[in-house]
Structure 1
Amino acid sequence: MTQAELMTPDQAADLLGVSPRTLASWRCSGRYSVPYIKVGSKVRYPRKQLNEWLSTRPNGGRQA
């Protein structure tokens, strides 16, 4: 997986229309099972998997 295929938490949060803190909360609580990986101590979101996940969510994963 290349760097272009991985999104930072800020990029992923922007795509989802939520704050990075909300995204971190979802990840830690397992609330929405957002796909992510850890690269060392850093959290990254695989772009393809995140887009696939979005397509399965009501409202395209964005908050109403």
Structure 2
Amino acid sequence: MNEKFNTDGAGEYLGLKPGTLAVWRCIKHSPAPAYVRMGNRIFYLKKDLDAYIESQRVVA
């Protein structure tokens, strides 16, 4: 089973404020990682957060 985080936990994992993730969810073309909505609750899967981190990688 994939580990899941709420918005606060995901923000801490990514080094972002939870409000940033909340704003990104509202923006149509945002850099937000994938998330899961269960009723009125939001969860982020660790594999999606890791994929987001990898997608931000810059190789110079």
Fold in common (TM above 0.5): yes
User: Higher helix share goes to which structure?
Assistant: 1
Listed as ranges, the gaps of 5+ residues in structure 1 are 60-64
Q: Residues 1-64 of structure 1 correspond to what in structure 2 (within 5 A)?
A: 2=1, 5-30=3-28, 31-58=30-57
Distance 2:48 2:41 in 1: 17
Note the aligned Cα RMSD (angstroms): 1.8
The CA deviation at 1:44 is: 0.4
User: Normalising to structure 1: TM-score of the pair?
Assistant: 0.74
Listed as ranges, the gaps of 5+ residues in structure 2 are none
Q: C-alpha offsets along residues 38-64 of structure 1, whole Å, 9 cap, x if unaligned?
A: 0111000011111112111046xxxxx
How many pairs were matched up? 57
User: In structure 2, do the counterparts of structure 1 residues 46 and 9 end up closer, same or farther at CA, with 3 Å as the change threshold?
Assistant: same
Bigger Rg, structure 1 or 2: 2
Identity of aligned residues (%): 30
